[in-house]
Chains A and B, each alone.
Chain A
Amino acid sequence: MISYQLASTIRLGVKSLLLHKLRSALTMLGIIFGVCSVIAMLAIGEGASYEAQEAIKKLGSNNILLRSVKPPEQARQQGGGGGGGGGGPRGMQLKYGLTYQDGSRLQTTIPGVKRVLPMRIIRENVRFDRNEVPCQVIGTLPFYPEVAGAAIVRGRFLAHIDEVHQDNVCIITTGLARRLFPHQDPLEHSVKIDAFYYRVVGVLQERSQPEQRSQSGKMEGQPLDNNVYIPLGASRTRFGEVLIRRAAGSFEAEEVQLHQITVQMENTAAVETADPQIKTLLDKFHDQQDFEIIVPLQLLRQAEQTKRIFNIVLGSIAAISLLVGGIGIMNIMLATVTERTREIGVRRALGAKRRDITRQFLVETVVLSVGGGLIGVVVGVLTPIVVSQLTTMKTIVTVWSVLLAFGISGAVGIVFGLYPAKAAARLDPIDALRHE
């Protein structure tokens, strides 16, 4: 009975709105834009933060990354040329960064550490036949794939025996395999790095390239997945501790034992506690700031925080447009009430109670706003698709943003419809009947 009455009230509302098609359509437009912008903006925001979060997640949320960083003061001295008279016996040679000892200290002192993965990262050209590709030669230990989340596609990764023998074996990434061996199976071929040959024993699929994230712009323009993995011991003996880089008549020598240490923790809870402990420990043995600590978990948290703020800002902008739409609705409904004063009087004379009149106009407003909301949802879901087609931006339309926008449009109808509806119901039937 109640639902039947409501249905007939809704039918009546639609009928009244259709009486002024243009007016109703223009009024709806405000809500359509509002709902559409809520959904579209949240979709774009969601998409942007999703990409950032994925990148961070790839670093591993259980991991803590330590990287060697060239200390800023020394870098400046070197840039000034000569570095002064008291330069010491090593002259231009710069010594900084993480050490093997840091690795073993971390392993033994920090509670909750599962594994410590040291890495030496050296940029060198890798050659096979007539192909030459600039690469990162990464000296590391056999458990690299487990820590970095990489997968062996062919062959094997480094083995313990390779480390003991300091064998000249290497594993190359899929991308590099494609470039060096366009027509051949890379396994069991030897590639030349610097002055030595290394036998390819496996092909690795990287989950991500965390190594590319550091060291400012040096790596720009280089393909991201050209990595060669060799035993850490081999890296140490073949390349030595001192790395010399020559460029246009000047040369630069630096002594870096380890470029990166990835500390894998037992669980995410251990990551939280270990972060300050690691910093304290390393600070004790480093008298200069030559390393950085990257906690992917924290970055993830920050990204989520940023996303939240982003969403609030975008959401507020969209909410304001919904508010404007709501005010537009209220304005039109107030005009409608004035215009239909006489109808209100007639209905009251025919037995309508105040609440019947309130309901009639409220339903009409809600029909208007929910109708606009529905159209807005459709347009709002389509807009991000178009945006990601036209630009490279990733967009994600979440269910909750659609529900939110739709819910708000309904709420706007009720909130902004209530006043005109009440105003209609408050009219004195005698005055209303006499209204021309």
Chain B
Amino acid sequence: MPRPSAIIRIEGVKKRYVLGGENEVLALRHVDLAVEAGTYLAIMGPSGSGKSTMLNILGCLDRPSAGSYWLGGEDVSRMPDDQLSEARGRKIGFIFQSYNLIAQLTVLENIQVPLLYQGKDVRLFHDRCLDLARLVGLGDRLGHRPNQLSGGQQQRVAIARSLVNDPLMLLADEPTGNLDSRTGTEVLDLIDRLNQAGKTIILVTHDERVAARAHRVVHMKDGVIDREVVNRPPPAPSR
């Protein structure tokens, strides 16, 4: 059983893709990983290293072919689709490279979307959504549509959206990939602040400078964790 403080525990995870007929690709050979609450973890690796597959499994978008994945004390590796969707919405906040805001919705409505899928009454969470918008510095842009915002602003809306269900962790996939260095730094500073406030962050990148902000950096290669670098010790488990 995983220790209670490890919110993520991956044991012996394999992922096999069948490419039709006899062709099989082993995207993940064997991965073990444990992440304590409050950790800022970066995952690096060249393309084809299994980095994306790892991200999909961590994000509950995909299920491992073998092994188990404990997320917040729950084994999500064998969950049926509906439960997995539920877990995804409740426990994980996604931040994408291309922001992925919904074009027809305003800033406020975009932040509210994850609430909707948890069956929550958006009206009861209005103050929380406003707080989050202010936290990311967009309290005065609530009625704007994504196409009226800059890239950095859009990404900050996406961060607010990822936080609305108070997830166990934020999962960021190249969050600064589409941003210039200045706005990229702003976004990363925001992520740092969230981490300092106690949020667990997992960030996939191939930028060393981005990875340098993390407590731990996991390097992947050929479907396994090649090596791990600890930049600075993660905070001690509070419990």
Contact = CB atoms under 8 A, between A and B. Distances in A.
B25 interface: no
A354 B62 contact: no
Interface in B224-239: none
Contacts of A342: 100
A16 B161 CA distance: 20
Interface residues of B, number: 28
Contact of B82 (A12, A346, A354): A354
B59 interface: yes
B102 A351 contact: no
Interface stretch (A1-9, A167-175, A197-205, A310-318): A1-9
Given A4-B121, A429-B61, A433-B96, A352 B85 contact: yes
B188 interface: no
Contacts of B100: 342, 345-346, 349, 433
A352 B89 contact: yes
A223 B82 CA distance: 79
Interface residues of A, number: 25
Nearest to B87: A351
A343 interface: yes
Interface stretch (B67-75, B109-117, B208-216): B109-117
B119 A1 contact: yes
A353 B86 contact: yes
B81 interface: yes
Contacts of A430: 56, 61-62
B14 interface: no
B150 to A, nearest CB: 19
Contact of B85 (A19, A348, A433): A348
A195 to B, nearest CB: 92
Given A353-B82, A353-B85, A1 B121 contact: yes
A16 B116 contact: no
A394 interface: no
A343 B90 CA distance: 19
Given A351-B85, A351-B86, A15 B104 contact: yes
Contacts of B104: 12, 15-16, 19
Interface string B50-61: 000000100101
A342 B85 CA distance: 16
Interface string B113-154: 110111101100000000000000000000000000000000
13 contacts: A16-B104, A343-B102, A345-B100, A346-B96, A349-B61, A349-B100, A350-B113, A350-B161, A351-B85, A351-B118, A354-B82, A355-B82, A429-B61
Interface of A: 1, 4-5, 8, 12, 15-16, 19, 342-343, 345-356, 429-430, 433
Closest 5 CB pairs of A and B: A351-B89, A351-B117, A353-B85, A346-B100, A350-B114
